Amino acid sequence: MSTLFRHFRVHQVFGANTNVGKTILTTALVRASAQRGKNVYYLKPVSTGPLEDADDYHVNRHTADYKKSVHAECLFRYDEPVSPHLAVKMKADLEGQDVILPPSDGTFLDSVANRIRTYAKSSLNPTHMYLETAGGVHSPALSGTSQADCYRPLFLPTVLIGDSKLGGISSTISSYESLLLRGYIIDAIVLFRDDYYQNAEYLKPYFAERGVFVHTVNAPPERLSDLAANFTSTDKYYATITALDTEHGVGPVVDHLDVCHSKRLDELESMPKRAHDSIWWPFAQHGLMKGEKDVTVIDSAYSDFFSITNKSASSPTESILEPQFDGSASWWTQTLGHAHPSLTLAAAKASGRYGHVMFPQSVHLPALKLAERLVKGGPGKGWASRAFISDNGSTGMEVALKMALRAFTSRQQTEIKEDEKKQLGILGLKGSYHGDTIGAMDACEEGVYTCEWHNAKGYWFDPPTVGIKNGEVFITVPATLSSFPISHDVRADSLANVYDVENRINSSLARAYAMYITRALEALEKRGGPKLAALVLEPLLMGAGGMIFVDPLFQRVLIDTVRGRRSGSSTSWSGLPVIFDEVFVGLHRIGMESTGPLLGVYPDISVNAKVLTGGLLPLAVTLASNSIFEAFLSDSKADALLHGHSYTAHPIGCEVANETLAILDKVTKSDEWVAAQQSWAKPDGTASPVWSLWDPHFIIAISKLPQVKEVMTLGCVLSIKIKDDASGYTSHSAQTLFQSLTRASQEDGTLSTAPGGAAFGMHFRTLGDVAYFMTSLNTSSTVIRSIEDKIWQTLNE
């Protein structure tokens, strides 16, 4: 992951094309740095072509005057003068495929990063470094990904060598845009002077407008056929353009890069205080923050990792940036890892085609595709007829509530008075959470998440829950159920059995649930409790309420009871409209696209968000059955669903969602997923209805630890409840217990490194006495195993 040293300025050099003078200008930068008294490290990670033409040799030869302060190296060398991926192939063809496997991006990048880190703390006291990439920005790397993608985890500040020839304006700008799409910091564009094509005259104002420094350097002399004469002429050229006072030399570039480096360091250093002074954070008690040191500066992010400023750097030669595993999956949104290029391109494409276009009674392709996908082939399959798009989970739930309330009131035989309508109640479960807008809050019990206007309307059952205690699966039955046949916790054979709802539907527990629910609802009616208008559930897992894994049988029985029937196949809602809040659990977060098939019933309304947009930006979709939709049809505009945000169905969000869903189709069939599913298979080898990316042996093992009360996992989610007298949201026990996870430990084994081979700490969040850990949907098993190791070590410290 990204490295940034206080004393050691490192830049990577990309070329706008091959043959634009990348090596010449990089050599000149090396020499100019050396001339300014710096110790310089030049690295060519991959070199192709004959040895005598190799770039690192060239650098060494032309910096002979600065032998002591310049070190030039190459890590991987191939003979053919072709693109690295082909050079590897040709060498393999020549020497036998088995012998020469190209290093994977990971292995390759680890080598590069390790070399940089080694140099940073070497006795050579290096101060400047230039890493010269191969070919153009998108030339293939050894393993076949592009240069720009391959080096992205290191996130090195960048010098782009522009193209001064005919067509060079275009290739320079396009290369710049490709680097920008990867988020790179582009400190300078450098190119040769060319008085005929005058590319620089065009590029300078173009990039000045975009805040990018452009500098021209006198072009090199013609190549001479006599080697000795050529060397002398070239060396003289270098001497000229690296002289301290040459306007059209590289000196101004070196100075500029030094300034950029200092500015970046200053900026990073200033950020905690500035943030602490100007930002009001969500769900954060500023009164408990101990100033700047409680602020995490996220400089960039890649895959599963943030790159944060390293508060505990022990040595001045350590990187001031370190990787941190994003253990909350960035507040439950991460799906495909940070900065996934496909999502960036999807966003760019929609922005370039539409910007945002207003949505009422109009349609654009990204929205249409998304609606059709979710209604017909996604979570709405088999029951939904319409997609209503809004901005986030909370607004999606407000839309769902508006739908359900109208559907309910419009079907009543006797008209409900306006005042009664305002007090219509929601049937749900204790621990529910549907978002922070006040309407969504009112569908939940009052509790921790509250505000003055929060006015909980409805009735909430205390649900039985599923968990693993001391190696065994239990259904924990709440005290309110104790007067029914089931009066104590139920031990279950396995998670597979607990989640086999169809097989449990005729059990005595199911009958007890039904009886309990029926009596409770009768009692509610008898005492004139709130008139219920909708059943609202987070199926299987209530997230913000404390990672509560609800017994699926209870939810199924509750739905059946409310509907007065056992099947979800009716075309019209019955009893009460049923809303599934799948904002958190939907779209494979817990290992299934949607929860209906497992529960054996479909909702009348459901909401998706979070994973929907791959962890990039907000969007929500509320799906509805036709019988819900029809409740709003009339010839009066006032009867319409009068809800709409200005940016409803913004094309960027819809396109990113479509791309996410397309990629998820592959992820969910990937070897990693198949292997994880197999690890959770039943003893007879058949598939379990539930599974997890976390290792079952690890789960069992930590459930047996003395400080652990209960463990549970589904899909990407791992929840560990700590034994604590003061339970609930205000408890700090989990936070305290796992605090040491945040530190990157240098002594970790090789498993525990982020891309680029650096040891990493972990970001995680707690809900009172519950610590949870969440991966992206495509986090590799290697990374998950190393996280498990870290958690295990922390619990056994």
Q: In a 10 Å sphere around its CB, with 0-12 CB exposed, 13-18 middle and 19+ buried, how is residue 279 labelled?
A: exposed
Q: Which is nearer to a second copy, 150 or 553 (CB)?
A: 150
CB closer to a second copy, 262 vs 487: 262
Measured from the CB atom, the residue of 14 and 691 that comes closer to a second copy is 14
CA atoms within a 13 Å half-sphere pointing along the CA-CB vector of 169: 13
Question: Which CB atom, from 35 or from 324, has the smaller least distance to a second copy?
Answer: 324
Closest CA to 189 of 179, 197, 181: 179
Alpha helices in 630-695 (DSSP H): 651-667, 671-679
CA angle, corner 372, sides to 366 and 376, nearest 5? 155
Q: How far is the CB of 426 from a second copy (least distance, A)?
A: 10
**Angle, alpha carbons 313-317-323 (nearest 5°):** 50
Q: Report, in Å, the least distance between residue 245 CB and a second copy.
A: 31
Residue closer to a second copy, measured from CB, 181 or 313? 181
- Residue at token pair 């439950």: 332
**Please, which residues have CB within 8 angstroms of residue 753's CB and are 6 or more apart in sequence?**
110, 759, 760, 786
Residue closer to a second copy by CB (options 220, 644) is: 644
Closest to a second copy by CB, 82 vs 705, is 82
CB of 301 to a second copy, least distance (A): 5
The CA distance from 472 to 711, in Å, is 10
Question: In this complex, which beta carbon is closest to a second copy, that of residue 61 or of residue 311?
Answer: 311
Output the smallest distance, CB 793 to a second copy, in A: 24
Exposed / middle / buried, residue 453 (Cβ in 10 Å: 0-12, 13-18, 19+): exposed
From the CB of 460, what's the least distance to a second copy, in Å?
17
The full length of the chain comes to 797
Angstrom CA distances, 481 to 40, 451, 521, stand at 73, 31, 14
Q: Alpha-carbon distance 538 to 550, whole Å?
A: 9
Please identify which residue in the block is written with the tokens 């020497």: 95
Please, which residue, 267 or 525, has the CB nearer to a second copy?
A: 267
The residue among 340 and 556 lying less far from a second copy, judged by its C-beta, is 340
Please say whether the beta carbons of 69 and 38 come within 8 A.
Answer: yes
* Region of residue 211 (left: phi > 0; alpha: psi -120 to 50; beta: else): left
Rounded distance between C-alpha atoms, residue 667 and residue 270, angstroms: 40
What burial letters (b/e) apply to 42-74, b meaning 16+ CB within 10 Å?
bbbbbbbeeeeebbbbbbbebbeebeebbbbeb
Dist. CA 74–CA 49, nearest whole Å:
13
Q: What's the closest the beta carbon of residue 610 comes to a second copy, in angstroms?
A: 6
Q: How far is the CB of 694 from a second copy (least distance, A)?
A: 21
532 vs 424, 436, 555, 575, 581, CA distance in Å?
6, 22, 17, 10, 18
- State the minimum distance, in angstroms, from the CB of residue 363 to a second copy: 4
In whole angstroms, what is the distance from residue 329 CA to residue 326 CA?
5
CA 644 to CA 646: how far, in whole Å?
Answer: 7
Min separation Cβ 428 and a second copy, Å? 15
H/E run at residue 732:
none
Q: How far is the CB of 50 from a second copy (least distance, A)?
A: 15
Minimum CB distance to a second copy smaller for 235 or for 436? 436
Q: Which is nearer to a second copy, 5 or 155 (CB)?
A: 155
N-term to C-term CA, the chain? 27
Closest contact distance (angstroms) between CB of 146 and a second copy is 7
Q: Tell the smallest beta-carbon distance from residue 683 to a second copy (Å).
A: 38
